[in-house]
């Protein structure tokens, strides 16, 4: 298990060395500072005073509104950031001269992949915890409304990231290129999944059953970070979540990607 | 005890996905390495030396045949705890310092952080890299990288060490230090498997040598066995007169090298003494004579040359 831990902490070291972690922390800190500034404005005090007079629920709504804003923003930030940062983890690992020593160590190839996955997911989890945790703290202290469900978003966002990261691992192994991994990740996150998310609207233009089937097929097999962000927003607002299907299919996607990655990795010569 | 053994080992690198043909890097390769040996694997570029090491470490997967290290199938990983490896052209994560490289790979070998820390000083001392311990390896010269690579390969106190061109890029003094280090390790009972192109070096330290060409094992044996040329003796004498020369050429089938030096091929000691008796009879002064050995290098060049001719 020492070996596994070394792989996981190695990811943190790599992220720190490549200034990725630093970049994320700087951006997060800027956001947090901006938040401190906003909630200290007189107008906010006025709003709290005003809403406070007209009832507690108004303050709560305002807090939740802010939180949804941060959630959506962190979603974009995380996806963009992760794609840039983690897309190089696997290609740098399989570089000639580096992978040789790694594979000569008493750790199985499966454990290496799982270790890299765990490390990346933990990295993002810690980063998100910092950003979301602080925003939550500032809002709560200021308004006196401690809305715990906002903290759950850390898990939802990490979960979305894990799905995309699992795909990047596979692409990184096959192409050994960080650029290709990054581009694939972007296309998936910003083109394919948003388009698939509005597939029912698309269907009004498409009558061909075969095409519909293909679109449906991809909708179900691909991860749905957008839908997961919606679910977490609903949980935040206390609304009822009608379907957990995006969570399940995304989890399945992640497991499938890791399995394929491991079996590919185990067959390759380096 | 056999530390390494392979049987009819074959490796074909697939040139394209799903295509049948490929490069045969190892062709029915069978050999053993005994415990405590320094074993040298020689061969021209592309012979399959690195491929063999990589199969033994599970980095490359064999196509067929059997490969075992410490009697364990190479598909297991546990035996790697007892193995150290210095790859050719290694590239460790360049944002690490020399010390961090050793610590990182130590942990990957399954050694606890505190135990690694207690070894780092000794290892750095061993490869003479103490002053550079806190410098990022991207600033290292080639030889320094090689030294850190060797320290890394020894971090888990391995019983078997694979070194792929360990002295590549290292200066002559450093090479001597590495040779001494290897002999030292051998005296501790460790087994060393060495790939090298520097035959003079191999000659100095290896107990056993195998020669590989195009994936096939050409020859294997001790350095002495491989370099001995049979019973050729070289004589250095006072100047020989025509009569003696004539008799040496016809009667003893000697080969002349100038008029005070010749080589003679004898099949037994009796014949050798006949030559000496004859020379003394003729009042020839024998200054010295010795049994000839070819250098490992000339043997290697001859052998690979013969192979080429056989193909043509
Ligand atoms: N990953 C690979 N994919 C395809 N072919 C390979 C691969 N690695 C090595 N080969 C081929 O296998 C053969 C043996 O290569 P190998 O690296 O084992 O040679 P070597 O004896 O170590 O040579 P050198 O002395 O140059 O280091 C070569 O023909 C090489 O082209
Ligand atoms: Mg080689």
pLDDT in tens, A5-48: 999 999 999 888 888 778 888 888 888 888 778 777 666 666 66
How are beta strands B2-14 and B64-69 bridged, if at all?
antiparallel
pLDDT at B298 (0 to 100): 80
Task: Tell me the pLDDT tens digit for each residue of A86-141.
Answer: 888 999 999 988 999 999 999 999 999 999 999 999 998 998 898 889 888 888 88
Which helix (H) or strand (E) covers residue B263, if one does?
Answer: strand B261-265
Neighbouring-strand partners of residue B86 = B163
Q: For residue B50, give every residue at least 6 positions away whose Cβ sits within 8 Å of its Cβ, in sequence order, or none.
A: B88, B164, B195
* Contact across the interface for B80 and A106, Cβ inside 8 Å: yes
Number of domains chain A is built from = 1
Angle between the A56-86 and A178-187 helix axes, to the nearest 10 degrees?
A: 150
Interchain proximity B90–A18, CB inside 8 Å: no
Question: Domain extents for chain B?
Answer: 2-214, 229-293
A246 lies in which domain range? Answer: 2-267
Q: How far apart are the first and last CA of chain B?
A: 41
Confidence category of residue A56, pLDDT binned at 50, 70, 90:
low
Mean residue pLDDT of chain A comes to 85
User: In this complex, do A269 and B59 lie within 8 Å of one another by their Cβ atoms?
Assistant: yes
- Ligand 1, atom nearest to B15 Cα: 4
Q: Which ligand is nearest to the CA of B56?
A: 1
The alpha helices in chain B, defined as continuous H runs, are 49-56, 98-108, 113-126, 142-154, 172-187, 199-205, 223-227, 242-251, 269-281, 296-311
Report how far apart, in Å, the C-alpha atoms of B282 and of each of B241, B244, B278, B287 are: 10, 7, 6, 14
**Gap between the Cα atoms of B213 and A169, Å rounded:** 38
Structure tokens at A248: 């399940």
Three-class SS of chain A? CHHHHHHHHHHHHHHHHCCHHHHHHHHHHHHHHHHHHHHHCHHHHHHHHHHHHHCHHHHHHHHHHHHHHHHHHHHHHHHHHHHHHHCCHHHHHCCCCCHHHHHCCCCCHHHHHHHHHHHHHHHHHHHHHHHHHHHHHHHHHHHCCCCCHHHHHHHHHHHHHHHHHHHHHHHHHHHCCHHHHHHHHHHHHHHHHHHHHCHHHHHCCCCCHHHHHHHHHHHHHCCCHHHHHHHHHHHHHCCCCCCCHHHHHHHHHHHHHHHHHHHHHHHCCC
pLDDT at A125: 92
Write out chain B's pLDDT in tens, 312 residues.
899 999 999 999 987 766 667 889 999 999 999 999 999 999 999 999 999 999 999 999 999 999 999 999 999 999 999 999 999 989 999 899 999 999 999 999 999 888 888 889 999 998 989 999 999 999 999 889 999 999 999 999 999 999 999 988 888 988 998 899 999 999 999 999 999 988 888 888 999 999 999 999 998 999 888 887 667 889 999 999 999 999 999 988 899 998 899 999 887 888 889 999 999 999 999 999 988 877 788 888 888 888 778 777
Output the six-digit token pair for B165.
């061109």
Is B109 in contact with A267 (Cβ distance < 8 A)? Answer: no
CATH of B2-214, one of 1.20.120.80, 3.40.50.620, 3.40.50.300, 1.20.200.10: 3.40.50.300
Quickly count: other Cβ atoms within 10 Å of residue B243's Cβ.
Answer: 9
- If you measure from the C-alpha of residue A95 to the centroid of ligand 1, how many angstroms do you get, rounded to a whole number? 16
Residues listed for chain A? 270
- Separation of B45 CA from ligand 2 center, angstroms? 7
* Site of tokens 């799903």: B18
Nearest alpha carbon to residue A257 among A84, A103, A88, A116: A116
Strand partners for B66: B7
Q: Which residues contact A234 (CB under 8 A, 6 or more apart)?
A: A240, A241
Distance (Å, whole) CA B43 – CA B49: 7
CB–CB contact B57 A18 (8 Å): no
Q: What is the ipTM of this complex?
A: 0.84
Ligand 1: residue whose CA is nearest its atom 11: B25
Best of A99, A267, A269 to disrupt the B interface (most B CBs within 10 Å) is A269
CATH 3.30.70 fits B229-293, yes or no: yes
Most informative mutation of B48, B167, B211 for ligand 1 (most atoms within 8 A of CB): B48
Contact at CB, A106 and B61, closer than 8 angstroms: no
Is residue B26 in contact with ligand 1, taking CB distance under 6 Å? no
Residues of A in contact with B93 (CB under 8 A): 10, 13-14, 17, 92, 98
Residue nearest to atom 6 of ligand 1 (CA): B13
In angstroms, the CA A70 to CA A62 distance is 13
Please tell me the residue having the least CA distance from ligand 1 atom 28: B46
**Residue B136 contacts residue B130 (beta carbons within 8 Å):** no
Helices (H) and strands (E) in chain B, counts: 10, 14
pLDDT at A53 over 70: no
Q: Is B87 on the interface with A (CB under 8 A)?
A: yes
Between A95, A100, A106, which is nearest B59 by CB?
A: A100
């Amino acid at each position: 298990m020492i070996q596994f831990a070394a792989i996981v902490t190695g990811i943190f070291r790599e992220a720190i060395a490549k200034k990725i972690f630093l970049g994320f922390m700087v951006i997060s800190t800027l956001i947090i500072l901006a938040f401190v500034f906003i909630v200290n404005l007189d107008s906010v005090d006025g709003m709290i005073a005003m809403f406070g007079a007209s009832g507690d629920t108004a303050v709560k709504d305002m807090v939740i509104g802010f939180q949804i804003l941060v959630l959506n923003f962190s979603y974009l930030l995380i996806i963009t950031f992760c794609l840039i940062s983690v897309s190089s983890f696997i290609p740098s690992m399989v570089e000639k001269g580096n992978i040789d020593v790694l594979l000569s160590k008493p750790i199985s190839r499966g454990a290496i992949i799982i270790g890299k996955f765990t490390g990346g997911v933990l990295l993002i989890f810690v980063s998100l915890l910092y950003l979301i945790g602080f925003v939550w703290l500032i809002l709560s202290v200021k308004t006196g409304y401690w809305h715990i469900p906002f903290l759950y978003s850390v898990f939802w966002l990490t979960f979305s990231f894990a799905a995309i990261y699992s795909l990047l691992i596979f692409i990184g192994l096959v192409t050994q290129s960080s650029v290709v991994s990054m581009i694939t990740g972007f296309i998936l996150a910003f083109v394919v999944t948003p388009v698939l998310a509005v597939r029912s609207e698309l269907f009004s233009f498409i009558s061909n059953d075969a095409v519909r089937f293909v679109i449906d097929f991809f909708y179900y097999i691909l991860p749905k970070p957008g839908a997961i962000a919606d679910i977490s927003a609903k949980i935040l607002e206390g609304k009822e979540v009608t379907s957990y299907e995006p969570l399940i299919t995304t989890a399945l996607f992640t497991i499938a990607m890791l399995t394929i990655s491991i079996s590919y990795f185990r067959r390759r010569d380096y | 005890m056999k530390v390494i053994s392979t049987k009819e080992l074959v490796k074909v690198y697939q040139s394209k996905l799903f295509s049948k043909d490929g490069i045969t890097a190892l062709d029915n390769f069978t050999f053993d390495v005994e415990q405590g040996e320094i074993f040298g694997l020689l061969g021209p570029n592309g012979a399959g030396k690195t491929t063999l090491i990589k199969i033994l470490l599970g980095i490359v997967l064999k196509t067929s045949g059997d490969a075992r290290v410490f009697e364990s199938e190479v598909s297991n990983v546990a035996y790697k705890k007892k193995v150290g490896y210095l790859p050719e052209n290694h590239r460790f994560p360049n944002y690490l310092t020399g010390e961090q490289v050793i610590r990182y790979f130590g942990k990957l070998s399954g050694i606890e952080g505190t135990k690694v820390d207690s070894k780092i000083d000794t290892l750095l001392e061993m490869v003479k890299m103490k002053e550079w311990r806190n410098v990022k390896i991207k600033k290292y010269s080639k030889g320094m990288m090689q030294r850190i690579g060797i320290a890394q390969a020894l971090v888990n106190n391995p019983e078997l060490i694979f070194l792929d061109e360990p002295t590549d890029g290292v200066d002559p003094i450093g090479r001597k230090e590495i040779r001494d280090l290897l002999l030292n390790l051998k005296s501790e009972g460790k087994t060393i498997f060495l790939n090298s192109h520097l035959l003079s070096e191999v000659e100095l330290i290896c107990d056993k040598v195998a020669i590989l060409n195009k994936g096939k094992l050409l020859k294997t044996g001790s350095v002495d066995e491989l370099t001995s040329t049979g019973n050729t003796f070289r004589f250095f004498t006072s100047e020989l007169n025509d009569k003696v020369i004539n008799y040496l050429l016809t009667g003893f089938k000697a080969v002349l090298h100038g008029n005070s030096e010749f080589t003679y091929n004898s099949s037994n000691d009796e014949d050798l003494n006949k030559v000496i008796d004859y020379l003394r009879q003729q009042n020839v002064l024998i200054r010295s004579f010795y049994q000839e050995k070819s250098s490992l290098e000339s043997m290697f060049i001859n052998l690979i040359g013969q192979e080429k001719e056989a193909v043509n």
